[in-house]
Amino acid sequence: MSRFYLTLTAGLSITLITACSQSNEPDIASPSSEASAHRAELEEGASAIVVTGRKVSAPSMDSAMPISVISSEQIAAPPPPPQSRQVVVTGTAIRAPHPDRMMPYYQDFGRDKFTSTQENSFKIAQNEPVSTFSIDVDTASYSFVRASLNNNALPQPAAVRTEELINYFPYDYAAPRSAQQPFTSNVAVFPSPFTAGRKLVRIGIKGYAIERATRPRANLVFLIDTSGSMNAPNKLPLVKKSLGLLLDQLGPNDRVAIVTYAGNAGTALEPTPASQRDKIRAVIDQLGAGGSTAGAEGIRQAYALAERNIDPNGVNRVVLATDGDFNVGITDQNELKGYIERERGKGIFLSVLGFGMGNYNDALMQTLAQNGNGAAAYIDTLGEARKTLVDEATSTLFPIAKDVKIQVEFNPATVAEYRLIGYETRMLNRDDFDNDKVDAGDVGSGQTVTAIYEIVPVGGPRTMGDLRYSNPAPRAVAAGASEYGFLKIRYKLPKSDRSQLISTPIDRRVEFARFADAPQDARFATGVAAFAELLRGGKYSGSMTYDDVLQIVGASRGTDDFGYRMELTQMVRAAKTAGSMAKLER
C-alpha cells in the first residue's frame, strides 16, 4: 500500500513539473473569471493603470527588463531639457563666454619681413673715390623700432635702417629761396665720436616749403586693406582714424576716392570733393575686416581710378594703408615692382602707410614706395598718424623735387678711407648719377634730408693696409690740399623729366676742431646714427655705448616742440634692458 502511494505521489509531481515547464501563457494574473471581471472594472476607471508581464528568466546585469504600460489616457512627453549656455572654442581651452568679452583679434607673431643688407663698409678713396646714392625720406624703420622697444624687445637688425632713424627728425637747415631751386646744401666736418682720429662729414638739405594757399590740388585715392589680417586694434581701426586726420587737412578743391581690397577689390567711393567730409568719413567708418588679401588687384584698380580722374595741374597720389600681407593674385615683389614702375610714368605718386606687427611685410612696402615715386611710413600709434598726416601733411603729399641723387667724390690726397652710414638699400652706380632714366627718391615740401660719412683722414687709423702690388696710399696730406671732397646733388622738378645740378666743395671752411663745437643738429644726428648702429650690431661703432648715445642726444636736443627728441632718449633707455626677442603671449 505504501508503494502505491509513493508511486502515485511521484507521478503527480512529474506531471505538475512538466505542465509548468511547457506553459507559455503571458498572463501571470489569476485566470479565474472573477479576476477577469475585476480587471475590466479597473479599466473603466479614468486613472486606473494595470501592469502586465510575462514570465521571464532572471535578467543579466547588463540587460533591461521589458515592461508594458497600459493606460486609458495618453502620457505627455517630458519637457525638453533647458538650453545650455553657448560654448566658445578658443583653440586651446573651452570656456563659457563672458558677456562683456569680445572675440579675440587676429594676431601673428614672428612673421615680419625685412630685406636683410650688409652694412656699408669702408672704401679706399684711392681705389673708389666716388660714392653715389639716392636720398631716402622714409621714416618707417624708426616707428617700427619704437614699436618693438615698446614691446620690450630689440628689433631685428634688418628692421633698422640708419638713415630712416636720422631723417625721422626735422633739422634747422637753411631754407631755399624759391621753388625753382627747391633746396640748398648744408655741410659740416667734425671729429668722429666712434673712433679717435677719424672725422664725420654731415650733408644736409632742406626742401622748399609750399605755402598752403599756393599748393596744388590733390587728387587722392585711399587704397585700404580690409582683409582678415587687418582685424586688430592697431590695424584697420587705426587706419580709419589716421585717414580721418588726413581728410581734415585737405582743402575744398581736393578730391578723394576709396578703393578697398580683401579677397576681391572694388571701389567704395568714386572721386568726391573733400568738402563732402561727412560722406567720405561715413564710407571709411563702415569698413570692416575679413577675407584674404588681393593686394595687387587693389593696386591696379586704385591706379586705374586715379588715372581716369587725373589732374594735370595737381598732385595725383595713391595712399596705400596695409600690413603688406598680400596672399591672393600677384604677390611676387619683382612683378609688383615692374607694374609700379610703369604706372609712375603717368604722373601718379604712391605713399605707403604700414600698420600692425607680427605679419608686417616691410620688404614689400619698401619695394612699392621706392619704385612708385613715394615714401613709406609706419603708423604704430595715433600720435604717429598725427605727425605723418597732420603736422607733416604737406611734405607727405606734395613733392617739391623728384629723383634726387647725391654723389660725393673724395680727395685721395686728404682722405684715405670713407664709409656712408646707412642708405644700404639706396646705393647707385657711379654712372646712374647722370642718367635721368634712373629713378631715385623724392623730397616733399619743407622736408629735410641728412646723410653722414665717416672718413679716415690721410695719416689716420685705417681699417685696411696697402696691398703688396699696388701703389701705397699717401701717408701725409699734400701741401695745399684743403678739400676733403666734392658734393653734387642732382634733382628734377615734379613736372619735369630733365635733371638739374647743385654742387659745392667739402673743405676746411666747414670743419670744426672739436665735436662739442659742431652744429647742434649735426651732433644730434650723430647720436641717432650711433643708436642705429648699436641696434644693428655695432660693427663700426667702436667703443660707443647706449650711455654715450644718451649723453650725445641729451646735450644736443635743442628745440623740441613736439617731444620727438625726448622720445628718442626713452627709446635708448628701453634698448638697454630690452630682450633679444619679443615674448610670445596668447
User: Which 8-state DSSP code applies to residue 469?
Assistant: T
For 128-155, write each residue's pLDDT tens digit.
999 999 999 999 999 999 999 999 999 9
- What pLDDT sits at residue 108? 56
The mean pLDDT value for 340-369 works out to 87
DSSP for 240-269, written as a single string = HHHHHHHHTT--TT-EEEEEEESSSEEEEE
Q: What structural domains and CATH numbers belong to the chain?
A: 123-210+400-462+481-585 (2.60.40.1230), 217-397 (3.40.50.410)
The whole-number pLDDT of residue 473 equals 75
pLDDT tens digits for range 477-502: 766 678 999 999 999 999 899 999 99
CA distance 139 to 117: 18
Q: What would the pLDDT profile of 24-37 be if each residue is shown by its tens digit?
A: 444 444 444 444 44
- pTM comes to 0.80
Most confident of 9-13, 72-76, 313-317, 523-527: 523-527
Q: Which of 109, 117, 114, 120 is nearest to 156 (CA)?
A: 114
Report the mean per-residue pLDDT for the chain: 84
Give the C-alpha separation, 186 to 207, whole Å: 12
Q: Residue 180's pLDDT is what?
A: 83
Q: Encode pLDDT of 249-273 as tens digits.
A: 999 999 999 999 988 889 999 999 9
pLDDT score for 400: 92
Secondary structure of residue 318 in the 3-state scheme: strand
The answer on pLDDT for 90 being more than 80 is no
Q: What is the pLDDT of residues 94-133, one digit of tens each?
A: 444 444 444 455 555 567 889 889 999 999 999 999 999 9
pLDDT in tens, 526-562: 999 999 999 999 999 999 999 999 999 999 999 999 9
| pLDDT digits 0-9 by tens, 421-478 | 999 999 999 999 999 999 999 999 999 999 999 999 999 999 999 888 888 877 777 6
> Does pLDDT of 318 surpass 80?
yes
User: In the prediction, which pLDDT does 23 show?
Assistant: 47
Q: Under a CB-based contact definition with an 8 Å cutoff, are residues 264 and 297 in contact? A: yes
Of residues 367 and 41, more confidence is placed in 367
CA distance 137 to 384: 15
Other residues' Cβ atoms within 10 Å of the Cβ of residue 181: 14
Residue with cell 543579466: 60
Burial code (b: 16+ CB inside 10 Å, e: under 16) for 381-417 equals eeebbbbbbeebbbbbbbbbbbbbbbbbbbbbbbbbb
